[in-house]
Amino acid sequence: MEPFDYVIVGGGAAGCILAHRLTQDGRQRVLLLEAGGEPDSRWISIPAGFSKLLTNPRYNWLFKTEPEPNTHDRIISVPRGKGLGGSTLINGMIYVRGQPADYDAWEGAGAAGWGHREVEPYFRKLEGYGGGGAARGRDGPLSLEQVRERFPIAQGFLDAAAEDGQRLNDDYNGPEQEGFGYYQVNQREGRRWSAYDAYLAPARRRPNLVVVTDAQVQRLSFDGGRCVGVVYRRGHETLSAQARLEVVLCAGAFQSPQLLELSGIGRADVLGPLGIPMRLDAPGVGENYVDHYATRMNWRVRDAVTLNEMSRGWRLMQQVARYYTQHRGILTLGTGLVHGFVKTRAEMDRPDAQYFFMHASYANAAERILDRAPGMTIGVTQLRPESVGSVHARSPDPQAAPAIRPNFLASPVDQDCMVEAMKIARRIVGRPAMRPYVAHEMSPGDAAQDDAAWLDFARRNGQTIYHPVGTCRMGSDAGAVVDARLRVNGLHGLRVVDASVIPKMVSGNIQAAVMMVAEKGADLILADRPR
Average pLDDT, integer, range 388-417: 98
Structure letter (DSSP) for residue 197: I
The CA distances from residue 34 to 15, 84, 131, 135, 141, in Å, are 9, 7, 34, 34, 21
For residues 205 and 199, what is the distance between their CA atoms, to the nearest angstrom?
A: 11
pLDDT at 389 over 80: yes
* Ramachandran region, residue 98 (left: φ > 0; alpha: ψ -120 to 50; beta: rest): left
**133 confidence band (pLDDT: 50, 70, 90):** confident
pLDDT at 316 over 90: no
Amino acid 220: pLDDT: 98
| Cβ–Cβ under 8 Å, residues 209 and 23 | yes
* Nearest C-alpha neighbor of 500 from the set 287, 185, 189: 287
Query: Of 23-32, 270-279, 317-326, 452-461, which range is least confident?
Result: 317-326
CA-CA-CA-CA dihedral for 161, 384, 13, 244, to nearest 10: 160
Amino acid 444: pLDDT: 96
**1 confidence band (pLDDT: 50, 70, 90):** low
CATH of 1-35+77-144+192-287+390-401+467-531, one of 1.10.3210.10, 1.10.1740.10, 3.50.50.60, 3.30.980.20: 3.50.50.60
**129 confidence band (pLDDT: 50, 70, 90):** very high
pLDDT at 67 over 70: yes
So where are the chain's domains? Answer: 1-35+77-144+192-287+390-401+467-531, 148-182+293-382+409-461
| Cβ–Cβ under 8 Å, residues 134 and 120 | no
Q: What is the number of alpha carbons within 13 Å of residue 515 lying toward its C-beta?
A: 35
Cβ neighbours for 528, distance < 8 A, ≥ 6 positions apart: 485
Helix (H) or strand (E) holding 235: none
Query: Of 88-102, 298-312, 357-371, which range is least confident?
Result: 357-371
Dihedral over Cα of 37, 41, 46, 51: its sign: negative
Cβ neighbours for 234, distance < 8 A, ≥ 6 positions apart: 212, 214, 215, 216
- 207 three-state secondary structure: coil
Average pLDDT, integer, range 381-405: 97
Amino acid 311: pLDDT: 86
Active site residues per annotation? 467
Domain 148-182+293-382+409-461, what fold? Cholesterol Oxidase; domain 2 (3.30.410)
Amino acid 370: pLDDT: 85
Amino acid 51: pLDDT: 86
For residues 332 and 182, what is the distance between their CA atoms, to the nearest angstrom?
A: 14
Share of the chain above pLDDT 70, in %: 99
Structure letter (DSSP) for residue 401: P
Q: Counting beta carbons within 10 angstroms of the beta carbon of residue 233, is it exposed (0 to 12), middle (13 to 18) or buried (19 or more)?
A: middle
Amino acid 369: pLDDT: 77
pLDDT at 24 over 80: yes
- 479-498 pLDDT, tens digit each: 999 999 999 999 999 999 99
- 419-451 pLDDT, tens digit each: 999 999 999 999 999 999 999 999 999 989 999
Average pLDDT, integer, range 69-89: 97
E strand residue ranges, 409-522: 438-443, 463-464, 494-496
- 152 three-state secondary structure: helix
Amino acid 366: pLDDT: 62
Q: What is the number of alpha carbons within 13 Å of residue 123 lying toward its C-beta?
A: 23
For residues 383 and 378, what is the distance between their CA atoms, to the nearest angstrom?
A: 15
| Cβ–Cβ under 8 Å, residues 522 and 529 | no
With b for 16 or more beta-carbon neighbours within 10 A and e for fewer, the 120-149 pattern comes to: eebbbbbbbbeebeeebbeebbbbbbbbbe
Compute how many other C-beta atoms are within 10 angstroms of the C-beta atom of residue 502: 27
| Cβ–Cβ under 8 Å, residues 350 and 101 | yes
For residues 530 and 255, what is the distance between their CA atoms, to the nearest angstrom?
A: 29
Q: Global pTM?
A: 0.97
- 326-370 pLDDT, tens digit each: 999 999 999 999 999 999 999 999 999 999 999 999 876 666 678
Average pLDDT, the chain: 96
What string of DSSP letters covers 18-67? Answer: HHHHHHTTS---EEEE-SS-----TTTSSGGGHHHHTT-TTTB--EEBPP
| Cβ–Cβ under 8 Å, residues 116 and 177 | no
Q: How many residues can be counted in the chain? A: 531
Compute how many other C-beta atoms are within 10 angstroms of the C-beta atom of residue 3: 14
**Terminal-residue alpha carbon distance, the chain:** 24
Going by their DSSP bridges, the two strands 265-266 and 280-281 should be labelled as: parallel
Amino acid 134: pLDDT: 87
Average pLDDT, integer, range 242-270: 98
Cβ neighbours for 85, distance < 8 A, ≥ 6 positions apart: 11, 12, 13, 16, 39, 44, 194, 195, 196, 197, 200
